[in-house]
Every structure is written in C-alpha cells, then in structure tokens.
C-alpha cells in the first residue's frame, strides 16, 4: 500500500466530530418522512442525501414511486416533493469514523419540530437499523410518532438485492 493510500485509510479510521451540513427536503405537503442516521463521507462531499453511488436509496424510491431514477439533486428533490416524501437524518452532529454507523457516538439529534410543524407528516420510516435505534432512543418520545424500520439501502447491506429492498419498502410504505 503506498503512503498516500495508507494516510487516507488512517484518516478514515479517526473519529471526527461533524455537523450535518445540508437541509432536509420537505414542504407543507409532505406526508411521509424518511430518516437516515447521518450522511456518509460521499453524501457530505456531495452535500446531499445518499450520495454514495452504490447506495440504492434513489433506485428503491424510484421503483416504489414508479418514477424514473433521478440523477441530479434537483431531480431527486422533485421526485420526493411531488410524491409528498420528506427526507432527513436523525443526527444533527456526532463523532464518527468515516461513514461507519457502528462508530457513531456523542449524538445530538435533529429538531424534528421544524419539519413536523410545517408539513403534514403522518408516518416516519427509518432507513436501516442504526437510524431506527437512534430515532427510538433520542426522538420518538419528542415526536410522539412511532417509526417503521426499513432495511438499509446502504452498500454495507449487500445481502439484500435491489428487488428485495424495493419489495419490502413498497409493502411497508403501503401499510404505513
């Protein structure tokens, strides 16, 4: 391994205390809120949700909503808002190693009243186990809304195919 790659790998393993730096996507018509845990390194670089090219969130949502898979941030926002879906993360700031949800500590939760008081959100879904655990621990009592846990669209959840993710997300969102 060359020195540059080693330094990059070591940097990813160090804890960093980070703030969530981009805004939630929602409007007054939003009826569903989907929460992740905290933006990945790629999402932080792209300054938008689910920025890792291997994350299947946008493909799953497009399939569930019968929409063309969005490419740009504007297309992603359009798909979400047209379908009354809001997206944000549970965490406002935390210490984290790279993109590892399992490394998250020193959590400060987002203020969900910002979305809930300015939308029609009736149901909250969480994308993956860590987001669900954090939501239940830090936010559920405050929002008064029980969340439904969905399987993670992360590339780390490689045992789930795109088809299986889509099927479960579609079924759960119908029930919601």
**Cβ atoms of residues 109 and 134 within 8 Å:** yes
Q: Is the pTM of this model over 0.85?
A: yes
Domain ranges of the chain: 15-175
Neighbouring C-beta atoms of residue 28, cutoff 10 Å: 8
Q: pLDDT for 14-36, tens place per residue?
A: 899 989 999 999 999 999 999 99
- Distance CA(83)–CA(8), nearest Å, equals 40
Return the half-sphere exposure (C-beta side, CA atoms, 13 A cut-off) of residue 67: 21
Neighbouring C-beta atoms of residue 9, cutoff 10 Å: 11
Residue that is written with structure tokens 């920025």 in the block: 51
Q: pLDDT for 98-141, tens place per residue?
A: 888 888 999 999 999 999 999 999 999 999 999 999 999 999 99
Backbone dihedral region for residue 50 (phi beyond 0: left; psi -120 to 50: alpha; all else: beta): left
What is the residue-averaged pLDDT of the chain?
92
Say if domain 15-175 classifies as CATH 3.40.50.12160: no
């Amino acid at each position: 391994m060359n020195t540059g790659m080693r330094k990059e790998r070591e940097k990813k393993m160090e804890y960093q205390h980070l703030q969530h730096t981009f805004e939630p996507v929602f409007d007054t018509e939003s009826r569903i809120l989907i929460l992740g845990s905290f933006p990945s390194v790629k999402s932080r670089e792209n300054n938008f949700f689910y920025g890792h090219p291997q994350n299947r969130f946008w493909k799953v949502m497009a399939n569930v909503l019968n929409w063309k898979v969005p490419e740009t941030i504007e297309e992603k926002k359009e798909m979400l808002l047209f379908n009354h879906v809001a997206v944000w993360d549970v965490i406002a700031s935390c210490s984290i190693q790279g993109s590892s949800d399992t490394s998250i500590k020193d959590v400060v939760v987002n203020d969900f009243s910002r979305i809930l008081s300015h939308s029609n959100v009736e149901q909250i879904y969480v994308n993956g186990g860590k987001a669900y655990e954090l939501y239940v621990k830090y936010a559920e009592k405050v929002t008064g809304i029980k969340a439904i846990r969905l399987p993670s669209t992360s590339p780390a959840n490689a045992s789930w195919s795109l088809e299986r993710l889509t099927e479960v997300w579609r079924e759960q969102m119908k029930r919601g």
